[in-house]
């Protein structure tokens, strides 16, 4: 079956006594048992921290879309990444992308390092630079592609090869492209993480996260960890995300079409000094995106001439909302300097070019001409 069909039908493979088309919402904390089984087992369901049919239906859909052997749904993207980090022990080393979602940087700095794991960051689009940081203690390479907010793309096939040559895992945060545009596991990655809050949910109404893996050992460890830590997604949120997933292909196509139109329009505005959208044919990562996927997504990063212009844009957009997050029906504009990257040290921000002139736009599902008109009046 093709991708769009699988978005809709994977979840319906279950036996329901009344023939419900949609996986019902099992709002229960616990499950009653008929008997004490011979081997001490009471059936498949004990307690919703461990198992819940609604959450499992969602996990199975995301597992299928990413092409993994297992998927776990978490109460947020950060809960997913934090659980994944519990695979590592004091003395282990991880190499991460240099430009990452600010919350991931905070997690690695404040929690992972405290737990004795050495985390080093580097431009993962430079394979030699990654290779130089690898030691016998390296357990994983962790990349975001494209990165947030600078949209740098890494070569996933070559990073997977490098990781495997060194007995390490390749982890890819696939939040921006989603399995509709890119399947890192099929390119050799071992683990995919998602902030499902973004495109997978798609409606700006749930916070959730996923880990998908192609490896049985990682799946076994994560199943044990999620049951122990208890950061699984609530059944109600799982039900909403499963509903959102059915339109993922339609939404991604529209996000992408509108993002290209807006990126092209921004390029012609005199107050805009730089537009970074991998879907623009002259973007340096355009061809790499096409070699490892089928599209570019709906995120556009741009620079304006002065911090005052940036402030005016944030204050004067009407339709586009000045808000954190991305990937939903509503277009959102973000100021990385004071929002997603507020906790990143000043010298690091300066090095990366995350300054007062940088804006990040999540192009929503509104009519693109209305979005352009809104940007036009805000930039006037």
Ligand X SMILES: *Cc1c(COP(=O)(O)O)cnc(C)c1O
Binding site for ligand X (CB under 6 A): 76-78, 101, 103-104, 144, 148, 173, 175, 195, 197-198, 207, 209
CA distance 10 to 132: 43
- The verdict on whether 198 is a catalytic residue reads yes
- Contact at 8 Å (CB) between 199 and 170? no
Catalytic choice (55, 118, 139, 198): 198
- Return the closest-CA partner of residue 198 out of 33, 2, 318, 329: 329
Closest CB to ligand X: residue number? 77
Catalytic choice (6, 49, 186, 246): 49
> Nearest approach, Cβ of 172 to ligand X (angstroms)?
10
Nearer to ligand X, 83 or 378 (CB): 83
DSSP 43-108: -S-SBTTT--HHHHHHHHHHHHHHT-SEEEEESSHHHHHHHHHTT--TT-EEEEESS--HHHHHHI
- Contact at 8 Å (CB) between 101 and 148? yes
CA distance 221 to 86: 9
- The verdict on whether 173 is a catalytic residue reads yes
- Contact at 8 Å (CB) between 29 and 48? yes
> Nearest approach, Cβ of 326 to ligand X (angstroms)?
6
Nearer to ligand X, 121 or 309 (CB): 121
Total length of the chain: 380
Q: Taking the CA of residue 293 as centre, how many other CA atoms within 13 Å lie in the half-sphere pointing to its CB?
A: 27
Nearer to ligand X, 204 or 283 (CB): 204
> Nearest approach, Cβ of 76 to ligand X (angstroms)?
3
> Nearest approach, Cβ of 20 to ligand X (angstroms)?
29
Nearer to ligand X, 148 or 276 (CB): 148
> Nearest approach, Cβ of 360 to ligand X (angstroms)?
10
Catalytic choice (26, 60, 70, 101): 101
Nearer to ligand X, 22 or 323 (CB): 323
- The verdict on whether 101 is a catalytic residue reads yes
DSSP 200-240: TT-SS----EEEEES-HHHHHHHHHHHHHH--BPPHHHHHH
Tokens 């975001």, residue located? 144
- The verdict on whether 49 is a catalytic residue reads yes
Catalytic choice (92, 99, 155, 173): 173
Does residue 164 sit in helix, strand or coil?
helix
Residues with a known catalytic role: 49, 101, 173, 198
């Amino acid at each position: 079956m093709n991708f769009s069909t699988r978005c809709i039908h994977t979840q319906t493979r279950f036996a329901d006594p009344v023939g419900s088309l949609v996986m019902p919402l099992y709002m229960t904390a616990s499950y009653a048992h008929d008997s004490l089984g011979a081997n001490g087992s009471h059936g498949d369901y004990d307690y919703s921290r461990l198992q819940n049919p609604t959450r499992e239906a969602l996990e199975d859909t995301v597992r299928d879309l990413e092409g993994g052997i297992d998927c776990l749904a978490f109460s947020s993207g950060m809960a997913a990444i934090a659980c994944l980090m519990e695979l590592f022990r004091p003395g282990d080393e991880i190499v991460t992308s240099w430009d990452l979602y600010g919350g991931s940087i905070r997690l690695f700095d404040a929690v992972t390092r405290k737990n004795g794991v050495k985390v080093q960051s580097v431009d993962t689009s430079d394979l030699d630079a990654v290779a130089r940081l690898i030691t016998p203690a390296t357990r994983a390479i962790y990349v975001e592609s494209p990165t947030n907010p600078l949209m740098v793309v890494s070569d996933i096939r070559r990073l997977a090869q490098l990781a495997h040559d060194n007995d390490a895992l390749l982890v890819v945060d696939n939040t921006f492209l989603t399995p509709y545009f890119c399947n890192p596991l099929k390119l050799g990655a071992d683990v995919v993480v998602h902030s499902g809050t973004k495109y997978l949910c798609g409606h700006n109404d749930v916070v959730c996260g996923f880990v998908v893996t192609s490896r049985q050992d990682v799946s076994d460890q994560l199943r044990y960890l999620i049951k122990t830590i208890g950061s699984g997604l609530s059944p109600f949120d799982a039900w909403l995300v499963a509903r959102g997933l059915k339109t993922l292909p339609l939404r991604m196509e529209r996000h992408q079409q509108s993002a290209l139109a807006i990126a092209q329009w921004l390029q012609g505005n005199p107050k805009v000094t730089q537009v970074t959208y991998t879907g623009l044919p002259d973007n340096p990562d355009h061809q790499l995106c096409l070699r490892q996927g089928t599209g570019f997504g709906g995120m556009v990063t741009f620079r304006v001439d002065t911090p005052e212009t940036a402030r005016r844009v944030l204050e004067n957009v009407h339709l586009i909302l000045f808000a954190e997050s991305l990937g939903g029906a509503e277009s959102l504009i973000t100021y990385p300097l004071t929002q997603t990257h507020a906790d990143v040290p000043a010298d690091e921000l300066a090095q990366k070019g995350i300054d007062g002139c940088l804006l990040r736009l999540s192009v929503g599902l509104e009519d693109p001409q209305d979005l352009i008109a809104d940007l036009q009046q805000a930039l006037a």
